[in-house]
Amino acid sequence: MKVNGKEVCLKPGTTILNLLEELKLKVDNVVVEVNLDIIENHQYSTYILKSDDIVEVIRFVGGG
């Protein structure tokens, strides 16, 4: 699977929430897109990623 353009190997059954935990990202600070579809954050704990998925994780950054 690709995450933000990089090849990543994850164990079968990995959810979006598992991925975010591995990346040390907070659910409230990101938007996740899988194969060009934005996934609602209430689905992160049940959405199982597949080996051929293309995932983009977009983080919100504050500042001025």
Summarised one tens digit per residue, pLDDT across range 37-53 is 999 999 999 999 999 99
Check pLDDT > 70 for residue 20. Answer: yes
In the chain, where are the structural domains located?
A: 2-59
Check pLDDT > 90 for residue 60. Answer: no
Q: What is the mean predicted confidence (pLDDT) over 11-29? A: 95
**Domain 2-59 is of which CATH architecture?**
Roll (3.10)
Check pLDDT > 70 for residue 64. Answer: no
Q: Which long-range contacts (CB under 8 A, 24 or more apart) does 37-45 make?
A: 43/16, 44/15, 44/16, 44/17, 44/20, 45/15, 45/16, 45/17
pTM of the model: 0.90
5-9, 16-20, 58-62: least confident range: 58-62
